[in-house]
Amino acid sequence: QSALTQPASVSGSPGQSITISCTGTSNDVGGYNFVSWYQQHPGKAPKLMIYDVSNRPSGVSNRFSGSKSGNTASLTISGLQAEDEADYYCSSYISSDTLYVFGTGTKVTVL
Amino acid sequence: QVQLQQSGPGLVKPSQTLSLTCAISGDSVSSNSANWNWIRQSPSRGLEWLGRTYYRSMWYNDYALSVKSRITINPDTSKNQFSLHLNSVTPEDTAVYYCTRDSWIHSGRSFDPWGQGTLVTVSS
């Protein structure tokens, strides 16, 4: 099972909006509404930001939103803030022996 | 609030067995609505789901194809924890290992919360 494809880096100025894409296939992203997004600061464990494509866990800022079209899922961060600078990973459930696949990761830089 | 606390050695010799434990607070390893997972992260392989254990009237396990022949994940109901055992390790198994929960009633098919992570180095 191949990793989901994400851009290596995305940057934006404070207050701007950015979007991170996560491209898979009909066997993963396109086949299930089970895409999740994680934020990871250096030396820390990943933190869940979005689950099941577009649901936000309690406590996560509403500046984070998720969507999906076909085989590509997206994470949008609006009103970019310095604290949003981190690595972001997508993940999708897949119906095979290996139940979950992750994205390659995107480094978000706040200019 | 669910918390996961990992423990285990940070250095393992090649060909030996990597063993880590994840202690659960705020939930039960025997919960009918939770699955208990191990995930690792390395620069070369990125984030990689390894496997899970869960209880639905009996115990079940699912393992990633890449490690299926070498991995065991066991629950310990007396201590409310679960463990990872990966045998015949090589330097390619060097990674940060995380335990985490997925619970459909809390956050669908996603992982939350996560343990603090354990860097395991495979070296002689």
Cα–Cα distance between B94 and B108 in angstroms, integer? 30
pLDDT attached to residue A103: 98
Q: Which of A48, A58, A64, A75 to mutate to test the interface with B (most CBs of B within 10 A)?
A: A48
Q: Confidence band (pLDDT; 50, 70, 90) for A104?
A: very high
List, for residues B7-32, the tens digit of each pLDDT value. 999 999 999 999 999 999 999 999 99
Checking if the pLDDT of A85 tops 80, the result is yes
Q: Among partner residues B107, B109, B117, which is closest to A45 by beta-carbon distance?
A: B117
B57-103 pLDDT tens trace: 999 999 999 999 999 999 999 999 999 999 999 999 999 999 999 99
Residue B101, chain A, CB below 8 Å: the answer is no
Cα dihedral angle (B8, B13, B16, B22), rounded to 10 degrees? 10
Q: How far is B32 from chain A (nearest CA, A)?
A: 19
Check residue A96 and give its pLDDT: 79
Whether residues A51 and B47 touch (CB distance < 8 A) is answered with no
Kindly provide the b/e burial profile for residues A52-87, where b requires at least 16 CB atoms within 10 angstroms of the residue's own CB: bbbebbeebeeebbbebeebbbbbebeebeeebbbb
pLDDT of residue A95: 77
| Amino acid occupying residue B45 | R
Which DSSP symbol is given to A31? T
Reported as a pLDDT band with limits 50, 70 and 90, residue B54 is very high
Asked if A45 and B115 come within 8 Å (Cβ–Cβ), the reply is yes
pLDDT score recorded for residue A20: 98
Task: Provide the pLDDT for residue A97.
Answer: 80
Predicted local confidence at residue A1, as pLDDT: 74
Closest residue, chain A, to B61 (C-alpha): A97
- For position A2, what pLDDT does the model report? 87
Q: What is the mean pLDDT of chain A?
A: 96
Residue B120 reports pLDDT greater than 90: yes
B42 close to A (CB below 8 A): no
Residue with tokens 């929960």: B101
Residues of A in contact with B113 (CB under 8 A): 48
